[in-house]
A and B are shown apart, each in its own frame.
Chain A
């Protein structure tokens, strides 16, 4: 009896999980279809570009600056154990553009954007604004989801690129100001060992992360429960899910791009 109950519980959880994955996958397909099929809401897209991209610059920039600076200190401390202090500029650059720029930038944008998108759309749902959109002959997927997903997919790579530059600059400041590197040598080493695909892979990661962040925020917002508690739960779930998805996608993409 106990075994049957346990198996039944496992079955219910599995079926529930599969149903959730199916719902999320269908939502993603509908969102992508909405991006490429008219009507297009250009004003909403520009607004999303501004709120998701431009207004995320300070948080991404500061994160990158301190990460680059700390990375320089860590690599210097580690490298000095086997007289490899000179690798600081190149490792800072490679580490920032390949991994830390996209991942930390993505996580910061997830915290800022997935939460606000989920809360905004969730509030719209509980106050019947989504229903109102439908009665005004406006598809919420096209009006709310598509502009946000497209804007995030396009702007997060730009944020990552800016973050890469600022992060490398953070390493440069510490390297030249504290660790005794010559300024021109630092810059030369940074550029010499950096390959095109190091930067390109980070930007691709940024695009994927941006897509996941906005999609997750919209999904949880659209499926928000009732009342303030429902919106709060949707917001929390959106940030957690976006963060986990970013880290999982980062592993998969790194495996695809760099596995031998």
Chain B
């Protein structure tokens, strides 16, 4: 279980997070929705320690996140970045098998390559892309490679940052199904940031609405349409008028 308690984070005079409280139960898929610049990515980065909160606490399975705890957490963690964040200097298979080629999870090279190709196949890519470099792939293919890398070591916790951005509707559907499958089959805990409402409905067990640095509403996906929250209603229906200002 991931728990965020009263997380605050400012960058200079800009207060991005103003007291985020959120609980992500183990083995569930939680999606954070919210407008651009509301602090969704910063929230994920606070959990990972990429950004240090000014105030508040992150707890993993009840224990506060320390440096040692973070290392252990990252060992069983995978993440799909918004822009895929593939390493330009490495061929695709080595990107996917990055963790399997070094560190505690190191495997023989041939085995690591085999696993990488299997994961590539799982995200709908053929083995012939394995030896290409990221720059030789389209944005959508890079995204799928990023997903293959995120699931390469069968992690228990996976974060997805805008998983369907830049993908065509069919591939977005494939990725949504895959995320759902990973959470269901592997029992992984997933946290996703997205603006894509079809993705929200396809992959989430729970939804949290982040606005102006605080969680405005949280609840199961089944309750999303009847949330009664004006922020959620405006966001999920994409209305220009409502409590969320169109110009931010």
A: which residues have CB within 8 A of B? Answer: 39, 41, 123-124, 127-129, 131-132, 134-138
Contacts and interface: CB of A to CB of B under 8 A. Distances in A.
Given A137-B71, A137-B99, A132 B85 contact: yes
Contacts, number: 49
25 contacts: A39-B102, A39-B103, A124-B87, A124-B88, A128-B82, A128-B85, A129-B85, A129-B86, A129-B87, A131-B50, A131-B81, A132-B79, A132-B81, A132-B85, A134-B48, A134-B50, A135-B48, A135-B74, A135-B77, A135-B79, A136-B149, A137-B99, A137-B103, A137-B104, A138-B102
Contacts of A132: 79, 81, 85-87
Given A129-B88, A131-B48, A135-B79, 7 more contacts: A41-B102, A131-B81, A132-B79, A132-B81, A134-B74, A135-B48, A135-B159
Contact of B98 (A124, A127, A134, A136): A136
Contacts of A41: 102
Interface string B203-227: 0000000000000000000000000
Contacts of B149: 136
Nearest to A135: B79
Interface residues of B, number: 24
A138 B103 contact: yes
Contact of B74 (A39, A123, A129, A137): A137
Contacts of A124: 87-88
B139 interface: no
Contact of B85 (A131, A137, A138): A131
Nearest to B81: A128
Given A128-B81, A128-B82, A136 B99 contact: yes
Contacts of B98: 136, 138
Contacts of B15: none
B45 interface: yes
B102 A127 contact: no
